[in-house]
C-alpha cells in the first residue's frame, strides 16, 4: 500500500479499485473512513436513496482530485468501506413491511385492525435500533484508532449511531444541518427512527449543544413549536427568510457568518441534499422547490473553516438512485472531506 501511495498520480485516470475516487488507500492507511448506510426503511415519498452510496461511489471515479480549497486534500487518506450488502437486503425487507404500515395509516385505519400490524411496527423499530448500534460500534472503533469518520446514507435516519459515537468522544458539539425539512417529528408515522425524526432523536443526546438548520422550507407546526421552545438550542434559517434577506441587499457571506456565530468549537455537518435546489439532486426522496445553490453551501462551509471552528465529521444523505444525483453527491462528499481536513489543520477557535 505504501508503494501504491508513493507512486500514485493524482492527475491520472482513476483506478476502479472499489474505493471512493479510486484513491490508493485502505482502512489501515486512511485517516478518513467513510461508512455507507444503505437504509431507507421509513421513506414516505420517493424511494431509491438506499442505492445512493453506490451511485456516489460509481460517479466518484470521474471526478478530478484537484480541490481549490485544499489541493492536497486527497493525501489525508480517504477510504470508503465496502457497502454492506446484508444491510441493503434487510432494508429491502423492512421497507416492504413499512409500506404496509404507511398504507394503513393513509387509509385512516388503526394498526390494530386485522391483520394487526403493531408487531410489524415493533420489528421495524428494533431493526432501526440494531442499525444504530451497528454504526455506533463501527464509528467508535475507527475513532478509537485516531481516524475521522463520515457517513453516506440512505435516508436521513442513517447517521444517528454516528451522532451517538461522537457524543461518547466529545463533551459538546454542534450540528450544522442543511435540509429542506427540520426532521424534528416525534416518531413520524409511528417509526421511532424515521428519516423525519433524525434531529428529534439527535436532540435527545445531551452532548449536542446546538442545532443550526439552514434551508428549511417544508415544515409542520409541531416542528416550528419545538424550534421556538428550544431556548436557543435550535436555530432555524428558513429558506424564505434567507431569500428575503438576499433580495433586500444583504450578502450571502454576511448571512453565512451570522449562521456560524451560533455554532460551538466542534461542528458536525449533516447534509440532506434536498436542502439544495432540486435541479441538483432531482431524485432525492422528498424534493422541495427552492433551496441553496451548491456553491452557497460550499461558501457556508468555507466560512465555518475560516472561523477557526473544527469540523469533526459529516454525513451526506438522501442522494437519489440516478447518475446525475450520484455525480453531485460524490462531489459534495469529496468537498466535505477536504474541508474537514482543512479545518483540522487550521483550527484556531478559542486560542
The response to whether 138 counts as a known ligand-binding position is: no
The response to whether 262 counts as a known ligand-binding position is: no
Write the CB contacts of 229 (distance below 8 Å, at least 6 apart in sequence).
Answer: none
- Exposed, middle or buried by CB within 10 Å (0-12, 13-18, 19+), for 203? middle
What is the C-alpha to C-alpha distance for residues 100 and 287, in angstroms, rounded to an integer?
A: 23
What is the C-alpha to C-alpha distance for residues 224 and 21, in angstroms, rounded to an integer?
A: 40
Backbone angles phi, psi at 153, to 5 degrees: -85, 175
Cite the beta strand spans of the chain per DSSP E: 32-37, 78-80, 148-153, 173-178, 208-216, 234-238, 266-272, 310-317
Backbone angles phi, psi at 80, to 5 degrees: -100, 115
Name residue, grid cell 449511531: 161
The response to whether 156 counts as a known ligand-binding position is: yes
User: Which of these, 252, 249, 274, 338, lies nearest to 70 by C-alpha position?
Assistant: 338
The response to whether 183 counts as a known ligand-binding position is: yes
What is the C-alpha to C-alpha distance for residues 70 and 302, in angstroms, rounded to an integer?
A: 11
- Exposed, middle or buried by CB within 10 Å (0-12, 13-18, 19+), for 299? middle
The response to whether 181 counts as a known ligand-binding position is: yes
What is the C-alpha to C-alpha distance for residues 160 and 157, in angstroms, rounded to an integer?
A: 6
Name residue, grid cell 478509537: 144
Known binding-site residues equal 156, 179, 181, 183, 272, 274
Known binding-site residues for Mn(2+) equal 156, 179, 181, 183, 272, 274
Amino acid at each position: 500500500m505504501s508503494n501504491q501511495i508513493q507512486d500514485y498520480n493524482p492527475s491520472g485516470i482513476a483506478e476502479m479499485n472499489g474505493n471512493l475516487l479510486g484513491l490508493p488507500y485502505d482502512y489501515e492507511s486512511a485517516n478518513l473512513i467513510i461508512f455507507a448506510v444503505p437504509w431507507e426503511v421509513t421513506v414516505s415519498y420517493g424511494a431509491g436513496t438506499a442505492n445512493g452510496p453506490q451511485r456516489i461511489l460509481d460517479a466518484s471515479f470521474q471526478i478530478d482530485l484537484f480541490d481549490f480549497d485544499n489541493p492536497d486534500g486527497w493525501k489525508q487518506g480517504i477510504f470508503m468501506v465496502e457497502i454492506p450488502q446484508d444491510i441493503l437486503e434487510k432494508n429491502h425487507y423492512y421497507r416492504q413491511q413499512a409500506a404496509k404500515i404507511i398504507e394503513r395509516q393513509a387509509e385512516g385505519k388503526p394498526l390494530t385492525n386485522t391483520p394487526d400490524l403493531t408487531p410489524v411496527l415493533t420489528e421495524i423499530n428494533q431493526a432501526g435500533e440494531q442499525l444504530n448500534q451497528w454504526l455506533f460500534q463501527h464509528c467508535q472503533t475507527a475513532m478509537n484508532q485516531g481516524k475521522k469518520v463520515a457517513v453516506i446514507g440512505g435516508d436521513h435516519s442513517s447517521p444517528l449511531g454516528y451522532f451517538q459515537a461522537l457524543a461518547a468522544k466529545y463533551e459538546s458539539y454542534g450540528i450544522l444541518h442543511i435540509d429542506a425539512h427540520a426532521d424534528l417529528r416525534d416518531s413520524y408515522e409511528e417509526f421511532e427512527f424515521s428519516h423525519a425524526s433524525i434531529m428529534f432523536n439527535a436532540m435527545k443526546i445531551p452532548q449536542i449543544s446546538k442545532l443550526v438548520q439552514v434551508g428549511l422550507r417544508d415544515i409542520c407546526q409541531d416542528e416550528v413549536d419545538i424550534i421556538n421552545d428550544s431556548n436557543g438550542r435550535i436555530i432555524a434559517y428558513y429558506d424564505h427568510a434567507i431569500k428575503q434577506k438576499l433580495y433586500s441587499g444583504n450578502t450571502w457571506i454576511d448571512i453565512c457568518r451570522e449562521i456560524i456565530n451560533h455554532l460551538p468549537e466542534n461542528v458536525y455537518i449533516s447534509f440532506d441534499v434536498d436542502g439544495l435546489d432540486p435541479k441538483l439532486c432531482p431524485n432525492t426522496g422528498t424534493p422541495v422547490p427552492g433551496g441553496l445553490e451548491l456553491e452557497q453551501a460550499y461558501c457556508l462551509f468555507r466560512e465555518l473553516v475560516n472561523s477557526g471552528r473544527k469540523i469533526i465529521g459529516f454525513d451526506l444523505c438522501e442522494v437519489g438512485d440516478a447518475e446525475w444525483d450520484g455525480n453531485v453527491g460524490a462531489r459534495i462528499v469529496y468537498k466535505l472531506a477536504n474541508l474537514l481536513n482543512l479545518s483540522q489543520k487550521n483550527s484556531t477557535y478559542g486560542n
